[in-house]
Amino acid sequence: MCSPQVEKIIRERLEKEGRPVFSRRNLLKLGGLSAAGLAAATLAPARRASAHGAAGVVDLSHVFGTAMPTYLLGEGPQREDFVTVENDGFYIQRWNYTEHAGTHVDAPGHFHTDGETIDNYAAELLYSPAVVIDISAKAEENPDATLDVADIEAWESANGEIPAGALVFMYSGWESRWDDAEAFRNADADGVMHFPGFSAEAAAFLLAERDIHGIGVDTLSLDNGPSATFDVHLSVLGAGKYGIEGVANLASIMDTPGALVIVGVPRWEEGSGGPCRLLALV
């Protein structure tokens, strides 16, 4: 039902924009332009910013499950049926997991005691142009490969300067290992993991020379696997930016200029980050 208040808001908005005003009967025929419709209308200008006219949505998040790879052994999620349709009339699961599992966000408070936690993180920073830099060839030869300043420069030579407010992703092809947690962690006999990440120099360049919102990787860490100093985490999160780890399907938007990304992370109270639904509008 289209309430009088909703109709009033719609009329005022249409009049302000100089667009035709529908009658109440026509509004009802159109489903009342519900909240969902208004949300879509609000998103429309942003989608039109895409060079491809918002042809669709690409899900950049993995399914959150109990068998997925995690950075620390033993921190894998656990779940159980809390109530069921058969016994209780409705279905709810109960989960036990750390904030940093699956496709997830690292907020500044993850590494810095004075860093912003996710509940207070500015929402406008969670909507960004996507830049995907491909280092898969290097990663195939060397699992400890890093995205370097030279890779950024090569991308910009082909595509132009990284836009302001961008979320810069490293694509290494590592997601092909996601369903094999052992291969994804790729730990040696001493327990040291080996997978790609950003170099400290590349992170420093993006922070100093480009106005980014954050960075993302298709591996378990912003730093590469053998890192014991976490320089990338410290610098990026220390600058008030965020990181996203365990990203999926980056190859799908790698050659899509104008893709926009929405980071759907819950506002956990005092959260250091958390699992997210990462969506690209292309």
Q: Is the predicted pLDDT of residue 44 greater than 90, yes or no?
A: no
The confidence band for 75, taking pLDDT boundaries of 50, 70 and 90, is confident
**148 and 261 share one domain:** yes
Strand order in the sheet with 273-275: 57-59, 277-281, 260-264, 127-134, 167-171, 214-217, 242-245, 104-106, 273-275
**268 and 128 share one domain:** yes
Domain assignment present for 85: no
**What's the pLDDT at 183?**
97
Number of domains in the chain: 2
CA distance from start to end of the chain: 33
Q: Give the list of residues 6+ apart from residue 182 with CB closer than 8 angstroms, or none.
A: none
Residue pair 124/263 in contact (Cβ under 8 Å)? The answer is no
**147 and 19 share one domain:** no
Q: Residue 201 has which token pair?
A: 């120099």
Domain assignment present for 185: yes
Domain assignment present for 99: no
Could you tell me the CATH number of the domain that includes residue 153? Answer: 3.50.30.50
Parallel, antiparallel, or unpaired: how do β-strands 92-96 and 273-275 relate? unpaired
Q: Is the predicted pLDDT of residue 17 greater than 60, yes or no?
A: no
**What's the pLDDT at 275?**
97
Answer with the residue of higher pLDDT: 245 or 52.
245
Percentage of the residues of the chain whose pLDDT score is greater than 90: 77
**24 and 112 share one domain:** no
- Secondary structure E strands in 40-158: 57-59, 78-83, 92-96, 104-106, 127-134, 146-147
**What's the pLDDT at 30?**
38
Domain assignment present for 38: no
Residue pair 170/217 in contact (Cβ under 8 Å)? The answer is yes
Going by C-alpha positions, the residue among 81, 181, 188, 167 that lies closest to residue 125 is 167
Q: Is the predicted pLDDT of residue 40 greater than 90, yes or no?
A: no
**145 and 236 share one domain:** yes
**152 and 267 share one domain:** yes
Domain assignment present for 86: no
Mean pLDDT, residues 45-57: 50
By residue count, the chain amounts to 282
Domain assignment present for 47: no
pLDDT digits (tens, 9 = 90+) for 203-226: 999 999 999 999 999 999 999 999
**17 and 122 share one domain:** no
**263 and 137 share one domain:** yes
**25 and 137 share one domain:** no
Domain assignment present for 2: yes
pLDDT digits (tens, 9 = 90+) for 242-272: 999 999 999 999 999 899 999 999 999 999 9
pLDDT digits (tens, 9 = 90+) for 114-149: 999 999 999 999 999 999 999 999 999 999 999 999
Return the sign of the alpha-carbon dihedral for residues 35, 41, 43, 47: positive
pLDDT digits (tens, 9 = 90+) for 80-101: 999 999 999 999 999 999 999 9
pLDDT digits (tens, 9 = 90+) for 157-182: 999 999 999 999 999 999 999 999 99
Going by C-alpha positions, the residue among 116, 246, 68, 55 that lies closest to residue 169 is 246
**15 and 146 share one domain:** no
Residue pair 52/253 in contact (Cβ under 8 Å)? The answer is no
Domain that holds residue 13: 1-33
**What's the pLDDT at 194?**
98
Residue pair 222/215 in contact (Cβ under 8 Å)? The answer is yes
Domain assignment present for 65: no
The confidence band for 47, taking pLDDT boundaries of 50, 70 and 90, is very low
Tell me the pLDDT of the chain averaged across its residues: 87
